[in-house]
Structures are given as C-alpha cells and as structure tokens.
Amino acid sequence: MTARSAVHGTFAIERTYDAPPERVFAAWADPDLKMQWFCCSPDWTVIEFDLDFRVGGREVNSGAMGDGVVHAFDGRYFDIVPNERIVYGYDMRLGDARISVSLTTVTFEPHHGGTKMIFTEQGVYLDGHQTPEAREQGTQMGLDNLGPFLERSAKTA
C-alpha cells in the first residue's frame, strides 16, 4: 500500500511589469494570450488547452515534457474583478496521480506607470509527489515568461 500524506504550504510571488494592469490582466484572461506564456519549461508540449475565463468557468491545461508523462491542470474560476483580481482553484495530476489541490489569488495594482502583480497560492501537496517549495519554483519559472511576453506583445501592438 502507498503511504499517504498531505503537506500544506502557502507562498506569494510579487512581480512588477512595465505594462498597465489592463494588459497584464488580459494576459491571464485571453486564451490566445495565456497560451503564449503560461508554461514552466521550453520543453513543454501542449496536449490540451481550454480557457473559459468567467466566474464558474473552467481552465484545462495538459502537456508533457521529454519524458512523456502528462501533467494536467484542471481549474475553476471563483472570483474575477477585471484588471484587479482573479481567484481560482485547481488540481494538478501527474499521469494518473493527483499531486496537489490549490487555491490561488492573483492581484493587479497600478505601480509607477506599470503593474504590481501578487500571486498567492495555498496548497495541499499529496502523497509525496510534490512539495510546496517545488511548486513555488515551478510557478516562478512560469511567471518568468510573463514579463518577456508583455515586452514582445507591446512591440507588436
């Protein structure tokens, strides 16, 4: 029998972007935009992506890296205040194993002509498949993609 465990963790990541809150928020809300930056590895191959960005809407995002193991994100939006706040819950799977369940809040504030974004996650990490520290590191890698995306998209706008 597999040993069961549940480890809880909370982390917050603060970033500032040289873009107004409307543009940063849109990068989360628009499926075509989010698809361009929301992954944590350049080796990521998308299998499925669907974003129904509304209160009660769902986001499904699955893919694999070189090892072929499917990583799946299945989320539901609970609260959306345009250009200010997004609250969603999601679970993550690695193959057939549920590895975590999380509640996430992303806030957007005007800051010196740009945006201060704060990403806060409260999670439970299941059965030793992942740790809060590993999730925070992966999330930071994903958010590292947002800044360069906003810079590139400003040049083409």
Strand pairing partners for 100?
A: 92, 125
| pLDDT tens column, 53-90 | 999 999 999 988 878 889 999 999 999 999 999 999 99
Q: Which CATH superfamily is domain 11-156 in?
A: START domain (3.30.530.20)
Instruction: Tell me the mean pLDDT in the region 8-26.
Output: 97
pLDDT tens by residue, 21-65 = 999 999 999 999 998 888 766 677 888 999 999 999 999 999 888
Percentage of residues of the chain with pLDDT beyond 70: 96
Q: How many CB atoms are closer than 10 A to CB 37?
A: 19
Q: Please work out, in degrees rounded to the nearest 5, the angle formed at the alpha carbon of residue 19 by the alpha carbons of 15 and 23.
A: 100
Q: Which pTM value belongs to this model? A: 0.92
List, for residues 97-120, the tens digit of each pLDDT value: 999 999 999 999 999 999 999 999
User: Looking at residue 1, what is its pLDDT?
Assistant: 42
Ramachandran bin of 117, using left for φ above 0, alpha for ψ from -120 to 50, beta for the remaining angles: beta
State which H helix or E strand residue 16 sits in.
strand 6-17
